[in-house]
Structures are given as structure tokens and as C-alpha cells.
Structure 1
């Protein structure tokens, strides 16, 4: 009679070998592969969704409103689901997300009717560009991945997860140029709508990958943990109440710095493809490869960040790289020609998006394992709600012809973010957390 497979534990890693990939759980491997599959469709929509809406005669404020609405809905779902997942598990929610994405992409593929397209775009967060993350359920993905990764490897594995997502986004962005050639064989709206097959297929693949993944254990009640693990030599261990107070202070700080970061991101990133169109008059044939270039650079940056974090620590790596990215952000709108702007923005992606993995590794290390869902939720929501404001404001500014202002506003917020990030989190390392 077959026996059940025991749950994977971080202590099991040493038995599997020395490579980082073989030291993580099978579920963690499936999470990373699902993100990679999902990222291709996201990359295509980052490059082409705003151009599609422009082709449908939508103006910049309308486009910005749809992007903002999707981010707000995602943040609301995260706020509800994230802490709940610590008690009920992550797998069921991520499987549900994949099915919703399949449905939203299918609707967008078959119709351009606004009363159907807008709800699909809001639920599916089309054009958001989450580097393959599971939208509002990204925090669940992070906490599940953290469970299946030994603490000492978190910065490295989260950077790998980010790298593969960005490479998938790059491939998708290249495919996002397809409407330029498809227009010769079909109506314009169908040329763009064909791209929705990519997120549909990607989420279907993600569903079947996660269907076989073993869920992470739900949180153990503190009193039960104390009864089963207490020993006479543990009198010096901090109480759960004291630990929660310390963790809460860190999470409040995380929320503050992320709000500044989110405001900066929202002013530029969601409408970047549209900005290229308005500023330089380019279409999907050049904008798709331009966005792909930035994602490839970001993937390269993730590996740089991983190595810098191992040598100098996460906080110093993040602050140093993003300071360079801040300069690139300011130079981008001042560029006289399209490909110079693409070069500056791609270098900015290397420094900014490249640090995403190590920042996530630090985030899930701010709390104990019983509150990782909460930590990842705070991280996501505190970025996404301020980020949701950005596209609406930036859309109005672009509509008025103020093409440089969004970048300068974004740079101001991100400069403040760097100062506070260094002050709040220096001395904290992912490898020091259980």
C-alpha cells in the first residue's frame, strides 16, 4: 500500500545536493516554472495593451483609469486573501487565480466591446506587468516559495524567480510586436486580440503545474507550538507577543517605504509603451522589442543584485543599484531620440527591477514563518495602492502634453524611498530568518 509523501522541510535541502535549484522543494520548483509560463503573456500585454486601447480610440485618461482600476482591485483582493492564506493554505487561491486569468483572457480574445473588455481588464490586470507574479495573489506565491527555500538561499532563489519571470516578459514583449505584421492579414482589433492567447495559455500551463504542487503547511497556533517545542533551555526565547510587536514595527516601516516606491512606479511604468508612442510616434514593431530589451536588462540586473547581496548585504545592494536607476529614470525623458530613451530606460530596469528578488527575500524574512503571508501582503498592498494612483495622474499629464513631468515626480518619490529604505532595514538579512 503506497504511503503519503511527507511534507518537505528546509532541513531536507542538504540531502539533495549542492546546487540551489535542487535544494528547494518540488513545490517551489513548480511555482517558479508557473511564474515563467505566466510571464510571457504578461510581457505581451505590457508592450501592446495600451497600444490596443489607443487603436480602439481610447484617450490617455481613459487608458490610465483602466490601469489604475486593475491595480486597486488587485490590492483589495490581496488585502483580503493574503492573511487568510496563512491559515487556509495558498494552493487553492493560486489555482483559482489561474482559472480567472484564463476566463479574462478568453473574453478579451473574442470581443472588444467595452462593457466586456473593461471588466476582463480590471480582473486580469492587463498591462500591469508583474514579471510573471500571480497578480493580487503574488504574496501567496512569495510565502509559499519562501517555505520551500532554505533561508540561506532565499536571496538567490528569489532572484532566480525574478530573472526567469523577466526573461519570460522579454519573450512576450517581442511577441507583442506581432500586430504590426498581422494587420496586413486581418482587422486591427483582431491583430491585437490575438495576443490574449498568450496569457490564456500561460495561465493554463500554470494551473496544471500548481495542481500537482504540495501546499505549504498552514500556520501553527502559538500556544500549540509552545506546548510541543518548549524545553527548559528556552526561557530566553522571546514571547510571541514581543516578537509580533517587533515584526509589526518592521511591517509599518515596510509599508511607508513601499508607498513611496509605489507612487514612483505608477507614474511611469504602466504607461511606458504608451509614452513611447506619444513621445516618438513609434508603434508595436519597435515598442515591443524596446520593452523586451528592458526586461532582458532587468533579468541581468537580478543576477547582479543576487551577487551583490551575497557580498555586501541586501540593503546596500538595493540602495546602490537603485541610486543608479534613479539617474537613468531622469535621463530617459530628456533623450532626443527613441533608442537613446530605450537605452536609458533599460539601464534603469537593470538597477530597479533587478533588485525585486532580493527585496522580496528580505520582506518574507521580516516575520516568522507563521506570518509570512501577512508580510508579503503588506509588501504588495503598500506598493499597489499608491501605484494605482499613478497611471490615472500620468494619463492626464500625458494628455496635456507634459511628457517629462511624470518622470520627475517619480524620481522625487523614489529618492525618498532610498533614503528611508537604508535607514529602516540596514542590518537585516534574509539568511538570518527562520
Structure 2
């Protein structure tokens, strides 16, 4: 029997992750295009994107402090219902204020990758649902399932184009996807309700985890650099890239959905390559070398004269740009002592989320005031600066031999 070592709760969590990731896949693809159909300006669209990321960040912080006290299942159910509510608001509202509210409360993922409060709760539960010897395999399965589901979800983003052909209005064809998003939110709530009592954590207040002076110095420097990288990445999140392809080349939603499906598959496979490459040349070297090459490809995307050439450069970029994700996570925990890893990961994740949320609003201004290609150039330039700073700041850190120790 497959995964017989994994308990029922673990299987439910992986299934729930896939349901949400599938929903995020098509929503992140169509959101900017739908808002433009609703008459929003590029600046207003950027504001909605910003709030979608900020909402996820805010709920993640609240989750860290209150989930174990309120109850993990209750919190998962609550956030699932908020997903369903945000889908209804997007489907039937026609005022920008309601779109902003929906983006905030639903933590609707415009980036193409899950960044909301579910991850921290589910990862805490996952650690206790299977044998310790299988833990690495379990987390790999959890993340890979989410990535593949997100890629599959982008294919559904082409459905509005087919619905228009059979007579639905442009707005009505998009509304069907938001209703599907609402339904999947309810499915997520049902899955959370089906979890056993064994998923709950302790009720004691969370104790603060202090970093040693050396770790604090390292993580502060790393967080500042990761903030720069995330801010740069916010200029080219999936919703805005899809909007650029849609308006620049006037291609169909079906074609775009296939493009982002392939991009998602390439990203998933790149994680496996990144691990092997890091073993050969090192974590830091893998992060920097793959990133720098991907920035060159990013610059070439808006310079491409045809859709086909732009797609080639974009897919090549996606095959490289996320290879730093697993290596970045491994590098972060290697910089600190084992007892400090949770705190270090939380600090770096929060710093990335906060700065990434700012960029979409700036992107809207750039598109409307400068050009639609400007965000690509800004993102590539800032990311290149991040990689160079990261390398020269940390190339002498002997993380493999001398991890930070508590003082």
C-alpha cells in the first residue's frame, strides 16, 4: 500500500495542500487580467496584489502566536472559509474597495506560490504524522505535491476563453473560476474539519527563541538581502507576468495557461537539479550562479520581438530562477545552531513576505507611467545586485564546518 507509513492526518494535509495549490494556480494566472476586465487601472491592480500578499503575511504572524491556543483545526477551518468568502467577493463585486477587502481577507495568492498561514500550521502537524526517519521524504512530498497542483491549476486558467466561445460574457466567464475557487475553499474547510484531535499542539504560550550574537548577526544580514531579492521578485509575480503576455502579444488564455503549466513543471523539476548541483559546487555557489543566469533571461523576455521568442526566454528563466529556493532554505538553517533554526526560518520568511508585498503596487505605477517592460528590467537589476551582495557577504562563512553555537 503506497504511503502506508503516513497517517490519515498526513494524507489529508497533503490533499488539502493540493486543493489550495490548484486553486492558487488558476487564480494567480487570471487575477490581474480579470481586474483589468472589471475596469481597474494598473495602479489599482498593483494595490490588490500588494494586499493579497500582505494578507497572507499578517495571517501568518497571527497564526504563529495564536494557532496552538485557539486550536489548529479551528484556524485551518477559519482561513478556508475566508478563501471561500474572498472568491464570492471577487466574483460578484464591482467596486475596487471590495476587491481590496477580498484580497486582504482571503490571502489570495497572486505570486503563484503559497505564502499564507496554512503552511506554518500544516508543517507543524506534518512533523508529528509520520516516523522521524521519513520526515525529509514527507516534507519533500508535501512541497512537490503543492507545486505540481499549482502547475495543473494554471491549465484551468484557460477555461474563460472556452466559455466565451459558447456565449458567456467576458466577466461571466471569469466569474466561474472564482466560484470554483469558493468551492475549493469549502473543500479545504471540510478536510480541516476531518483532521483528528491528535493534530493539536500544546496550549502553553509560545516562548521566545533568542538567537546567539553570531547567529543574530548572520540572520540579520541574510534577512536584509533576502528582503531585496523578494522585493525584486514582486515586480514579476505570476499574475503580472500573465497580464504582460496577455496585453503585449494578445494571445488567448488557453495558450497562456499552457505556458504557465509548463513553467510550473520546469520549476518543480529544477528543485531536484538544485539539490544535486549544490552537492557538487556548494549551496551559495548554486544560489548565485543559477540566479544570475536567470536574470539575463528575464531581461530578454520584454525585448523579444515575437511571442514564441519571449516564451523561450521565459521558460528558460523559470527552469533556473527557483533553483535557489531549496538551497536558500538549506543555507539558512546551516548558518545557525539546530535549536535556532525555527526562529531563523521565521525571521527570513517574514522579511521576504513584507518586502515582496510592496513591489506589485510599484509595478502598477511603472506600467502606467513608464512602460510595461520596466518591471522586468527593475527586477533583473535588483536581483543581480542581491546575488552579488550575497556572494561577497557570505563567501567566507564556513557554514558546513562552523555552524553558529548558542552563547
How far has the Cα of 1:130 moved from its partner?
A: 4.4
Task: Report the equivalent of 1:267.
Answer: 235
1:182 aligns with 2:163: yes
Task: Report the equivalent of 2:41.
Answer: 59
Task: Report the equivalent of 1:9.
Answer: none
1:405 aligns with 2:386: no
Matched-pair contact (CA < 8 Å) for 2:29–2:157: yes
Task: Report the equivalent of 1:329.
Answer: 298
1:138 aligns with 2:136: no
1:380 aligns with 2:349: yes
How far has the Cα of 1:149 moved from its partner?
A: 7.6
Of 243, 246, 253, the match for 1:284: 253
Task: Report the equivalent of 1:232.
Answer: none
Task: Report the equivalent of 2:361.
Answer: 392
In 2, distance between residues paired with 1:156 and 1:317?
A: 22
How far has the Cα of 1:341 moved from its partner?
A: 1.5
Task: Report the equivalent of 2:221.
Answer: 253
In 2, distance between residues paired with 1:58 and 1:97?
A: 27
- Seen in structure 2, the aligned counterparts of structure 1 residues 197 and 33 have a Cα distance that, compared at 3 Å, is same
Where 2:152 maps in the other structure, the secondary structure is helix
- 1:166-199 deviations in whole A, cap 9, x for unaligned? 2212211111011112123222211001111333
Matched-pair contact (CA < 8 Å) for 1:155–1:362: no
In 1, distance between residues paired with 2:180 and 2:318?
A: 23
Task: Report the equivalent of 2:76.
Answer: 94
1:165 aligns with 2:133: no
Task: Report the equivalent of 2:179.
Answer: 197
Task: Report the equivalent of 2:308.
Answer: 339
How far has the Cα of 1:140 moved from its partner?
A: 3.8
Task: Report the equivalent of 1:73.
Answer: 55
In 1, distance between residues paired with 2:333 and 2:235?
A: 26
Task: Report the equivalent of 2:86.
Answer: 104
In 1, distance between residues paired with 2:263 and 2:254?
A: 15
How far has the Cα of 1:312 moved from its partner?
A: 4.9
In 1, distance between residues paired with 2:317 and 2:298?
A: 6
Of 185, 192, 199, the match for 1:215: 199
- Seen in structure 2, the aligned counterparts of structure 1 residues 312 and 110 have a Cα distance that, compared at 3 Å, is same
- Seen in structure 2, the aligned counterparts of structure 1 residues 29 and 245 have a Cα distance that, compared at 3 Å, is farther
Where 1:126 maps in the other structure, the secondary structure is coil
Matched-pair contact (CA < 8 Å) for 1:162–1:302: no
How far has the Cα of 1:34 moved from its partner?
A: 1.9
Gap runs ≥5 in structure 1: 1-16, 224-239
In 2, distance between residues paired with 1:36 and 1:123?
A: 21
In 1, distance between residues paired with 2:15 and 2:9?
A: 10
- Seen in structure 2, the aligned counterparts of structure 1 residues 157 and 292 have a Cα distance that, compared at 3 Å, is same
Of 274, 284, 295, the match for 2:264: 295
How far has the Cα of 1:128 moved from its partner?
A: 1.3
Q: Provide the aligned C-alpha RMSD in A.
A: 3.6
More off after superposition, 38-47 vs 79-88: 79-88
In 1, distance between residues paired with 2:112 and 2:368?
A: 25
Q: TM-score, normalised by structure 2?
A: 0.82
How far has the Cα of 1:155 moved from its partner?
A: 6.5
Matched-pair contact (CA < 8 Å) for 1:105–1:200: yes
> Where do residues 109-128 of structure 1 align in structure 2 (5 Å cutoff)?
109-128=91-110
In 2, distance between residues paired with 1:130 and 1:142?
A: 19
- 1:383-414 deviations in whole A, cap 9, x for unaligned? 12211221111111111352332122111221
More off after superposition, 71-80 vs 309-318: 309-318
Matched-pair contact (CA < 8 Å) for 2:226–2:351: yes
Work out the number of aligned pairs and report it: 396
In 1, distance between residues paired with 2:104 and 2:90?
A: 11
Q: TM-score, normalised by structure 1?
A: 0.78
Matched-pair contact (CA < 8 Å) for 2:301–2:314: yes
In 2, distance between residues paired with 1:355 and 1:37?
A: 26
Where 1:403 maps in the other structure, the secondary structure is coil
- 1:67-122 deviations in whole A, cap 9, x for unaligned? 11222233233334335557777554333222211222233334444443331123
Matched-pair contact (CA < 8 Å) for 1:78–1:377: no
